[in-house]
Chains A and B, each alone.
Chain A
């Protein structure tokens, strides 16, 4: 340790603090944490093919924007893009059609991320999208909002271990002429709705670790949320004859108290959306294309 290091060590704010012990408070926090929502599959996994992907695709096949969410590519401009680039926001390294990406600072300006992609030949737009705390810095996408219609495949694969906010590999056909959109997760503000980056899983998804809404009535679920000081939102989960499904955000007045809840999801830090099976008088199922078109998409965030 050199002289400067010794000087810095001498002003260590924790030097005079008592050695931390495993107190009741420490134990209690441990219990509180493991009682929260358990580990969820990372979003990149949820976006990859799964048992529900087929059903999602069945409904949204006619919706170019959502179909595009699974596939995208970019071209490489003439003029010799770099094979490796890094700034304070992220580092990118190109190997053929694959790009190793590390998000270094999730709080950086989106233009710094775009600069990094552009330096290695990717014409992209980056949207900073509001997410829960455990998804801050995660890279989402790629998406072509108008629909990906090109040869080859695109995707993103997260790599671990990762000491940064996010590490992963993005791949795409190098000659794609369009522009893609990536999302970088930023911490949502109190009450700010989280971006919806994947479809609700009607087979069962719950917002709270210690309480299951599935199978309960709307009235009972609403009472439980109010008891916890949480707000309530409602989504009707419509199923279609060809096996697909879609959810429709609705006001409280369109939901019957005795209708049954199929699952729940955090809408924001203080509101839970209840996913409800439509009951008598719910009306005809909406056109899923219209339902999708009328709601905001994370890749539209500027």
Chain B
């Protein structure tokens, strides 16, 4: 039965948004959580908010940036223990739990990962948005809710701090090897 309170076209628009943006939101959550349960929770809560605030979700490229910004807040709540497990996504949780581990241990990668983890959360996030989500400075600014100049400055400083950590840790050989591996 058609829910009379759903605006005309809202369901179709949300379904298109969901199917188009599920992969990037999944990867965003996967990169920033420790368990399949958390990934499923972040995905479910992020899209639930998008459904309830569909008028706020911009069209086009802005949609995924809006979802990233929303997922970022959802994650912040999770980390502060202010969210509980959602009742949604039970099957998705099972599917994600059944997926094999993503990576095999590699001491060179682990060394870089340690340096990355040693960064402040703000530095990690701006680097991740640039290097994992592949966002430009203005796009990062949209996700973080700051100016483009501030985003570029934060990115520049985060790169410098990571370079310093890697340099002082004597990881130049590691980073060179990684650079070659990543083409």
Contacts and interface: CB of A to CB of B under 8 A. Distances in A.
Interface of A: 1-20, 22-26, 28-30, 32-34, 36-40, 42, 102, 104-107, 133-134, 136-137, 160-165, 186-187, 189-190, 209-210, 269
Contact of B92 (A3, A6, A10, A25): A25
A30 B11 CA distance: 10
Given A161-B62, A163-B142, A16 B103 contact: yes
A259 to B, nearest CB: 25
A176 B66 CA distance: 36
16 contacts: A2-B159, A8-B116, A11-B116, A13-B102, A15-B103, A20-B27, A23-B95, A24-B95, A29-B91, A38-B3, A39-B55, A161-B62, A163-B62, A165-B145, A187-B77, A187-B82
Contacts of A30: 15, 18-19, 47
Contact of A165 (B73, B146, B159): B73
Contacts of B77: 107, 133, 136, 187
Given A9-B182, A14-B31, A36-B51, A20 B22 contact: yes
Given A8-B116, A17-B102, A34-B11, A102 B89 contact: no
B73 A6 contact: no
B55 A13 contact: no
Ranked nearest first, the 6 interchain pairs of A and B with the lowest CB-CB distance are: A25-B92, A164-B145, A8-B131, A25-B91, A161-B58, A134-B52
Given A8-B127, A10-B109, A29 B92 contact: yes
Contact of B48 (A7, A12, A36): A36
Contact of B146 (A8, A9, A104, A162): A104
B84 interface: yes
Contacts of B162: 4, 7-8
A209 B106 CA distance: 49
Interface of B: 3, 5-7, 10-11, 14-15, 18-19, 22-23, 26-27, 30-31, 43-45, 47-49, 51-58, 62, 65-66, 69, 73-74, 76-77, 80, 82-84, 88-96, 99, 102-103, 109, 112-113, 116, 127-128, 130-132, 142-143, 145-146, 159, 162-163, 166, 175, 178-179, 181-182
Nearest to A189: B82
Q: Which of A3, A14, A34, A105 has the most CB of B within 10 A?
A: A14
B31 A161 contact: no
B69 A163 contact: yes
A109 to B, nearest CB: 13
Contacts of A161: 56-58, 62, 66
Contacts of A107: 76-77, 80, 82
A186 B77 CA distance: 9
A15 to B, nearest CB: 8
Given A10-B182, A25-B92, A187 B62 contact: no
A2 B57 CA distance: 32
Q: Which of B62, B90, B91 has the most CB of A within 10 A?
A: B91
A203 B169 CA distance: 66
Contacts of A106: 73
B69 to A, nearest CB: 5
A33 B88 contact: yes
A41 to B, nearest CB: 9
Nearest to B28: A14
Nearest to B163: A4
Contacts of A160: 55-56, 58
A16 B143 CA distance: 25
Given A25-B95, A38-B7, 9 more contacts: A7-B166, A8-B162, A11-B112, A22-B19, A25-B91, A33-B47, A137-B73, A162-B56, A187-B82
B154 to A, nearest CB: 12
Contacts of B93: 25
B65 A163 contact: yes
A165 B74 CA distance: 11
A162 B73 CA distance: 14
Q: Which of A8, A28, A102, A134 has the most CB of B within 10 A?
A: A8
A74 B159 CA distance: 43
A168 B32 CA distance: 30
A11 B14 CA distance: 32
A11 B163 CA distance: 15
